[in-house]
Chain A
Amino acid sequence: MAKENESYKELESRRSPESLKRLYLENLKLTKKAIKESTGKDNLIIQTIKSIEDLKVGANKLAKRLREWYELYNPEFSRSISDHRKFSQLIISKSRSELLKEIGLKEAESMGADIDKKDIDAILLLAVQIITFYDTKEKLEEYLDNAMEQFCPNTNALAGSLIAAKLLEQAGSFEKLMGMPSSTIQLLGAEKALFRHLKTGARCPKYGIILQHPVVAKSKDKAKAARMLADKISIAVKVDYFKGEFIGDKLRKGIEDKLK
């Protein structure tokens, strides 16, 4: 009680204009420092996986635009190839007649309009940009692979760098992921469906992001596979958090054998 009284007096004494001014300056300084120190490797990993996803969406959107544009000039070739990246590379490196020849057509038979070189060059500018989107995405995936292997080797070995990073992203931080029960990890990425289930009694979702993992995707009983994988991931995350020894391969092999 005496101590409480004392701290009350102390708190009261800080209400003076001079004290408030001092607290303003101190808090500003301390808070800036605390923000600086709050950034961990997990923040960098989360921004990386978000960028990879954005690049994927962006490249896809631009590639669809590129095709619409380029098809005015050479529709038959665009139709013959579905891979956006290869398509972008080929239309830059080869002429229309070469490309048509590859699919057994003559220029004279094409529905494509004959447009000026300037017009074609404008289209190819966009193709160049799209290729750099795909290249950047690939480089970031390599960076992510390395970063994950160092940051959380067990989770990485078990789930793969993309899925592990997406789990981190959904959880918000490594610490939060660490504190989650495996049943929550199993449903990360399915929050909307889960909310609908709780509110309206709709079907309860059985898996979120981890459905993308081959052992779940290929399994006949996906719900069971998802539960098993989530259990193992939750162990791997804890081992990584406390910097335990490497058991990622063992965990992965264990689950692959059981689900064969």
Chain B
Amino acid sequence: MRKSRIFEVFEQKKGKKLIIYTKNLVHGKKVYGEDLVTEDGVEYREWTPFRSKLAAAIMKGYLNIGIRKGDIILYLGASSGTTPSHVSDIVGKDGFVFALDFAPRVVRELVYLCEERKNIAPILADANKPETYADKLSLVDVVYMDIAQKNQAEIFLKNCRRFLKKDGYALIAVKARSIDVTKKPRQLFEIVRKEIEKELVIIDYKILDPFEKDHCMFMCKKK
């Protein structure tokens, strides 16, 4: 096991395949059936790009995901917590994740995860209505969004404007199909790019194929 180019993300070869890991914050516990590997007394959780768009972005060559140990993150579209659990590993016990989703069914699972991990707080709310949860979080170092909604860029900007610190990073996973099924994904990604660029600086962009079909991820920075 060795450090990867991303903070707090580790990697090793299994045969020809490169596999990435995060250090397990809660010893012995799996979150979604992922493999646990122990080396020199440290336990790591496998992070598969087929289950997590952030892992896919790293595998596709992101040099930096903007998330560091001790950071405070706003995670929009947390679902039952697959990717948030790895973000929680990365920021560690001195960092914090506000994990928001509007579907009660998945947030129920997220609550169990938060009870195990004291650095994630669940929020049941609509990301399109920041005023309903502004009193439930703090200013954050990073906004991460994965909500597959038609007006996701607008929702993203709204949240960055309100909760992201100056010079903070923001990541958004874009699903072409949820915007318009009749247009070409690349075309749609360009439209989203233009919208985001009105307020944020885009510093990296990757198409997530073959891990996630017709998805891309933008990494941005607040001016």
Instruction: Give the interface of A toward B (CB within 8 A).
Output: 7-8, 11-15, 17, 19-20, 23-24, 26-28, 30-32, 34-35, 38-39, 195, 198-199
Cβ of B48 to closest chain A Cβ, rounded Å: 27
CB-CB under 8 A for A15 and B72, given A34-B104, A35-B108: yes
**In contact, B124 and A38 (Cβ under 8 angstroms):** yes
Judging by beta carbons under 8 Å apart, are B181 and A195 in contact?
yes
Contact A35 B111 (CB under 8 A): yes
Proximity string of chain B (95-135) to chain A, C-beta cutoff 8 Å, 1 when within and 0 when not: 01010000010011001001100110111100000000010
12 contacting pairs across A/B (C-beta < 8 A): A7-B134, A8-B139, A11-B134, A12-B165, A17-B94, A20-B72, A20-B138, A23-B138, A24-B118, A28-B115, A30-B136, A35-B107
Footprint of A on B, CB under 8 Å?
A: 72, 94, 96, 98, 104, 107-108, 111, 114-115, 118-119, 121-124, 134, 136-139, 163, 165, 181-182
CB contacts (< 8 Å) of A199 on chain B: these are 181-182
Nearest chain B residue, comparing its CB with the CB of A27: B121
A23–B136 CB distance below 8 A: yes
CB distance from A45 to the nearest CB of B (A): 15
CB closest residue in chain A, given B181:
A198
| Residues from chain B with Cβ under 8 Å of A11 in the complex | 134, 137-139, 163
* Closest chain B residue, CB of each to CB of A11: B139
- Across the interface, name the chain A residue whose C-beta is closest to B134: A7
By a CB distance below 8 angstroms, the chain A residues around B182 are 198-199
In the assembled complex, the Cα of A24 lies from the Cα of B115 at a distance in Å of 10
Expressed in whole angstroms, the Cα–Cα distance for A39 and B103 within the complex equals 11
Structural contact, B139 and A27, CB atoms closer than 8 A: no
* Residues of chain B within 8 A of A28, CB atoms compared: 111, 114-115, 121-122
- Inter-subunit contact A31/B138 (CB<8 Å): no
For the complex of A and B, the 10 pairs showing the least CB-CB separation, nearest first, are A14-B138, A27-B121, A38-B104, A11-B139, A31-B122, A34-B124, A24-B121, A198-B181, A12-B139, A15-B138
Docked-complex contact B104 and A35, CB < 8 angstroms: yes
Considering the chains assembled together, what is the distance between the CA atoms of A24 and B111 in angstroms? 11
Shortest distance between the CB of A220 and any CB in chain B (Å):
32
Measured between alpha carbons, how far is A125 from B163 in the docked complex, in Å? 62
Chain A proximity of B141: nearest CB distance (Å): 9
Q: Are A14 and B104 in contact (CB under 8 A)?
A: no
Smallest CB separation, B165 vs chain A (Å): 8
A12 to B107, CA, bound (A): 26
> Please, how many angstroms separate the alpha-carbon atoms of A195 and B139 in the complex?
40
Cβ contacts under 8 Å, A12 to chain B: 138-139, 165
Within 8 Å CB of A13, what residues of B? Answer: 138
- B96 x A35 contact (CB < 8 A): no
- Within the complex, the shortest CB–CB distance from A157 to chain B, in Å, comes to 30
User: In the assembly, what is the distance between CA of A132 and CA of B69, in Å?
Assistant: 57
Output the least CB separation between A27 and chain B (Å).
4
From B107, B137, B165, contact of A14 by CB (8 A): B137
Set of chain B residues within 8 Å of A39, measured between Cβ atoms: 104
Verify A19–B114 contact, CB threshold 8 A: no
A35–B109 Cα gap in the complex (Å)? 11
- How many whole Å from B215's CB to the nearest CB in chain A? 16
CB neighbours (8 Å) of B121 from chain A are 23-24, 27-28
Residues of A within 8 A of B94 (CB): 17
B122 to chain A: which residues have CB within 8 Å?
Answer: 27-28, 31
